[in-house]
Amino acid sequence: MKQKIGFIGLGIMGSAMAANIAGAGYPLTVYNRTAGKTLDLEKLGVQVAKTPKALTAESDVVILMLTDHEAVDNVLWGPEAAVEAVTPNKTIINMSTVSPMYTRDLKKRLSSSGACFIDAPVSGTKRPAEDGTLLILAGGNEQEVQKHTPLFETMAKKVIYCGEAGQGSMMKMTINLLLGVMMEGVSETLNFGKMGGLTEDAIFDVIFSGPLNCGLYQAKENMIRNMDFPTQFPLKHMTKDLKFVVDTAYETGAAVPAAHTMLHLYRLGVGQEWGDLDIAAIHKLIDFLSQTRKGGSY
């Protein structure tokens, strides 16, 4: 018999991930602070809990897919707290994007419950979440990760074991640093070339015809061409993650000069109230800075 799954957090990613779990035949209960986000899942026969505590009591495995540290803490230790129903036979899987330091502390705080803890953030955006083709970056006891791999595979095309708890979050920070740099890099490249008289068509043709071609640039091409950025991964979330990168680098001693620059730029984008747009809106910021500079100031 399949484990009973509880899923907390039905945002852009979480709603699609939960639907895939239900579609694979797992008994599923969900909770979301905004109740309206449960309606589509209810049509699939998914149960809805009124509180995190009630969801945890009904579930063998509790998955958290939340925005940040504060949201995770609120679900676990806030009103009607999930931890009040955590017992040694349960598993808590945090798939939220949080810092490695927070993840290690989270494991420590949950240890008194005796429950298994896995950190398993994902690499991918809205479309892979819908298609069940995410990458899961798992940290924790390796045998427990293997035990839960069939569950993970309802949401992902691959599960990558990264080490002890906290290392899943470390891998998430690592790959998101590259994502942030690549997205800004192609935006800066396009803007530089166009301001030098090249056409957007020609620049994209060169990128797509050589070794610099990649799925990320193809996925964001139409957004950049149309200057329209429907959200797959919000720019404000990349900004949050880059702050985690910079903070983690301070702890480890890693040199991250590009991360500091990227954090500054993405924060500028949030300051222009573009935080809810897709990360490709960093192109909008680079264009804005160029136009501002042409006007005589930054």
pLDDT band at 293 (very low <50, low <70, confident <90, very high): low
Please report the pLDDT score of residue 294 as a whole number: 61
Residue 297: is its pLDDT beyond 70? no
Residues facing residue 31 across a β-bridge: 8
Is the four-CA dihedral 156, 162, 163, 169 of positive or negative sign? negative
In terms of phi and psi (left: phi > 0; alpha: psi -120 to 50; beta: otherwise), the region of 61 is beta
Residue range 209-235: mean pLDDT, rounded: 96
Task: Confirm whether pTM is higher than 0.85.
Answer: yes
Q: What is the CATH number of domain 171-294?
A: 1.10.1040.10
Please report the pLDDT score of residue 34 as a whole number: 84
d(CA 140, CA 162): 8
The domain segmentation of the chain, as residue ranges, is 5-164, 171-294
Please report the pLDDT score of residue 202 as a whole number: 98
DSSP state of 247: H
Q: Catalytic: 243?
A: no
pLDDT band at 295 (very low <50, low <70, confident <90, very high): low
d(CA 14, CA 27): 16
Instruction: Classify burial at 37, counting beta carbons within 10 Å of its beta carbon; exposed 0-12, middle 13-18, buried 19 or more.
Output: middle
Contact 62, 93 (CB under 8 A): yes
Q: What is the pLDDT of residues 259-270, one digit of tens each?
A: 999 999 999 999
Q: What is the pLDDT of residues 12-57, one digit of tens each?
A: 999 999 999 999 999 999 999 887 888 889 988 999 999 999 999 9
Catalytic residue (choose from 53, 90, 107, 172): 172
How far apart are the two ends of the chain, measured CA to CA in Å? 62
Residue range 152-165: mean pLDDT, rounded: 98
Residue range 58-66: mean pLDDT, rounded: 97
Select 5-164's CATH number: 3.40.50.1700, 3.40.50.720, 3.90.1150.10, 3.10.20.30.
Answer: 3.40.50.720
d(CA 82, CA 62): 9
Instruction: Classify burial at 18, counting beta carbons within 10 Å of its beta carbon; exposed 0-12, middle 13-18, buried 19 or more.
Output: buried
Q: What is the pLDDT of residues 190-219, one digit of tens each?
A: 999 999 999 999 999 999 999 999 999 999
Give the SS3 label for residue 137. Answer: strand
Which range has the worst mean pLDDT, 38-42, 79-83, 179-183, 215-219?
38-42
Please report the pLDDT score of residue 258 as a whole number: 98
Please report the pLDDT score of residue 298 as a whole number: 45
Please report the pLDDT score of residue 292 as a whole number: 72
Q: Mean pLDDT for the chain?
A: 95
Instruction: Find the DSSP H helices in the chain.
Output: 14-23, 39-42, 52-58, 69-77, 100-110, 126-131, 142-147, 149-152, 167-195, 200-209, 215-226, 235-252, 257-271, 282-294
